[in-house]
Amino acid sequence: MANTSNNPGNASRAEQTTAAAAQKVGDMASQAGQRAQEALSSAAQRAGETASNLGQRAEEMASSAAQRAGETVSSLGQGMSSLAGTLRHSAPQQGMLGTAADAVADRLEAGGQYLQERNLADMTDDLSGLIRQHPLPSMMVVFGLGFLVGNVLRR
């Protein structure tokens, strides 16, 4: 029997087979890499879409909450104005009690109109301006409220 391992034709065929196998393995690896990249790209796109949808939902919820809060504040303003009218009609018209009732009714009405005409952003701006104009009294009010809340919560 002849030894085929020393035959130069067999060695060349083995090299060709090895090269072809290596080429196929390389092609398969390249295809697998492309598929993995496509899958990652698709997953990233879906994640981006999901994040965008969640952001839109959060924005819609925040807008809805702000609208409800604005409606509540406006309703409170209407209630204050109504209370001012009731106070004017039921309180005495003369004397010290009448004067005090009229002053309280005026303040309730002004506060009610303010709440009806302004939105929460305007009120926040007004509060910020008031605190900037009067920082010391503002700090005293905050500390006083903190003290009262602390006492209530401690009980």
Counted domains in the chain: 2
pLDDT bin (cut points 50, 70, 90) of residue 1 is very low
Q: Is residue 7 part of a domain?
A: no
For 98, residues 6+ apart whose C-beta sits below 8 A from its C-beta are 91, 92
Specify the higher pLDDT residue, 15 or 144. 144
Question: Region 7-26: what's the mean pLDDT?
Answer: 78
Range of the domain at 52: 32-118
Q: Is residue 95 part of a domain?
A: yes
126 in the same domain as 99: no
Q: Model confidence over 87-140: pLDDT tens digits?
A: 888 888 888 988 998 999 999 999 999 988 888 888 889 999 999 999 999 999
Residue found by looking up tokens 């809340």 in the block: 149
64 in the same domain as 110: yes
84 in the same domain as 54: yes
The CB-side HSE value for 5 (13 A sphere, CA atoms) comes to: 0
Q: Model confidence over 33-86: pLDDT tens digits?
A: 888 888 888 888 888 888 888 888 888 888 888 888 888 888 999 999 999 999
125 in the same domain as 109: no
Whether 4 shows a pLDDT value over 80: the answer reads: no
Instruction: Please give the model's pTM, rounded to 2 decimal places.
Output: 0.53
141 in the same domain as 68: no
Q: Is residue 2 part of a domain?
A: no
